[in-house]
Structure formats: C-alpha cells, structure tokens
Amino acid sequence: MLTHRLIAGVLTIMLVLAPASAAAQDGFSLRVETSVSCDKATLTATAEGGTGPYNLSWGFGDEDIPLQTDIDGFPVTVDHMYPASGEYVWTLSSTDSANATAEVTGTIVIDGPVVTLTSEPFPPMVVLENGQATVNFSTEVSGGIGPYAFTWDLDGDGSADPADGSGAA
C-alpha cells in the first residue's frame, strides 16, 4: 500500500519594496531661469528631487537639433544663439538615474535692434541736375546692445557701398 504524508505549514514571503529614488517618490521637477542679451539666451536649470546623474534634452524652439547632455547634478547653464528676432518656445526634459522624468517649457523673446531710416527729402525721389542729386539718409537704432555696425547698399546690388554714397550709381 502506498502512503502519502502531508506536511502542513505556512510559508511567509516578505516583499520589501524600496523606492528607486526617494526623490522620485516625492517628485522630480525642473525650473529654468532665462536671460537674453541680443540674440544670445542663457538658460539656467535647477531641479528638485531626482537622483543623479541626469540626462537632459534641451529644445530651443528654433530649427537647431536638440542639445543632449549628461550631468551629475544641478544647476546647469547653457547658452544658445538664436538666428533672428522673435518668440521661441523652449523645452527641457530630464531623466534621472531612477528613470524619473521631468519636463518644463517656456517662452523666450529675442528682441533685435530696431532701425529707423529717414531721408531728406522724403520720399527720396529727386530730379537729377547735371546727373547728380543729393539725398541725406540717417538712421536711429534702439534696442539690442551697442555699438552697432551697419552698411549701406545704395545701388541695390547686394554689396556694401561707402557710407558717403560715393560708390552709388
């Protein structure tokens, strides 16, 4: 005869879950402060929470390829040159070593200098006397950061002419 013996018992399994990151449990957030000088923007990022090292992806809102970088900790500062005046929406995304993610976006305004051109006479339409006429042009610049540099293209050929107009046709 075959006999089976049954043993009864209780097996206790303890599953201890430690958070991958206490900071990730509490939240991981980013903050970016910006400053602008002409076409150059400076963006400084700080973080709350998260565990280093961090992977960052900066999108600047222009046609540039996003900047990918790894850092050990915050704060981190980047400079970016914008191609033209305008309003740009930037984005910063970050993943920490515990795979917690955070993202922040904002808008940056690049104000270039504003140039006002005036002429005397206005409009600069003149009658040539002996093949010559005099028109006085002046400029006023505001915004941006001086000193300013500019060139004149008085004959419309796409090349700079002397400021006194002696090369204009």
Structural domains for the chain: 22-110 (2.60.40.10), 113-169 (no CATH)
Q: Strands 54-59, 67-71: parallel, antiparallel or unpaired by DSSP?
A: antiparallel
Task: Look at residue 23 and tell me whether its pLDDT is greater than 60.
Answer: no
Q: What is the arithmetic mean of pLDDT over 134-144? A: 78
42 vs 77: CA distance, rounded Å: 7
The band of 2, judged by pLDDT with boundaries at 50, 70 and 90, is: very low
Name the residue with higher pLDDT: 57 or 6.
57
**pLDDT given at position 53:** 96
Name the residue with higher pLDDT: 90 or 23.
90
Please spell the DSSP secondary structure of 7-24, one letter per residue.
Answer: -------------S-HHH
The band of 9, judged by pLDDT with boundaries at 50, 70 and 90, is: very low
Extended strands (E) in 1-134: 29-37, 40-48, 54-59, 67-71, 76-81, 86-96, 101-110, 114-120
Give pLDDT tens digits for 56-106: 999 999 988 889 999 999 999 999 999 888 899 999 999 999 999 999 999
Give pLDDT tens digits for 28-39: 999 999 999 878
38 vs 121: CA distance, rounded Å: 33
Q: What is the arithmetic mean of pLDDT over 156-161? A: 83
Give pLDDT tens digits for 107-125: 999 887 777 878 787 777 7
Q: Do the beta carbons of residue 60 and residue 134 sit within 8 Å?
A: no
Average pLDDT score over the chain: 79
CA dihedral 27, 32, 33, 38 (to 10 degrees): 180
The band of 129, judged by pLDDT with boundaries at 50, 70 and 90, is: confident
Distance of CA 89 to the CA centre of its chain: 8
Q: What is the arithmetic mean of pLDDT over 155-167? A: 73
